[in-house]
Amino acid sequence: MSRSRFSLLVCVLVAVNAFFWLAQGSFALPRAMIDRFFGPRMIRAEVILQAPGGVVNDFRLDRGVITAVTPGSIDLRERDGSTVTIPVARRARVAGSPSVTTVAQLRPGLRVLVVHKANARANLIQVEASG
């Protein structure tokens, strides 16, 4: 590769890199839109994502106050008054609270956000506040 071609290639790569570095915020969803749909006023959501290989993943997000904890599931009372029973994996990750770190420590009165694939056990429980 000649020196001029190499210099041209480097200039093009630097220009493309600078463009994406400066324009990265404009390609993302506005923060206000994300907060509106997934912020603290969200009750429940279903998010469908397509992976690069064409595989479709269907996620459910449920937010509410735990009303009952049974082996393998929790009952949530959501903001709109509905109650939903969510199956929970035994080794689900519990995050967001230094005092509640395992599924066994979940108790009624905790406000949580539960993330799980549709028709599957929850693998992530985000503790938002204690009741």
Strands 111-117 and 56-70 turn out to be antiparallel
CATH 2.40.50 fits 40-129, yes or no: yes
**Domain ranges in the chain?**
3-33, 40-129
Could you tell me the pLDDT band of residue 104, with boundaries at 50, 70 and 90? Answer: very high
- Rounded-to-integer distance, Cα 10 and Cα 4, Å: 10
Tens of pLDDT, residue by residue over 2-61, are 777 666 666 666 665 655 655 555 555 566 666 666 777 888 888 888 888 888 989 999
User: What is the pTM assigned to this prediction?
Assistant: 0.71
- Rounded-to-integer distance, Cα 2 and Cα 128, Å: 59
40 SS3 class: coil
- Rounded-to-integer distance, Cα 77 and Cα 63, Å: 8
pLDDT for residue 118 is more than 90: no
E strand or H helix at 47: strand 44-50
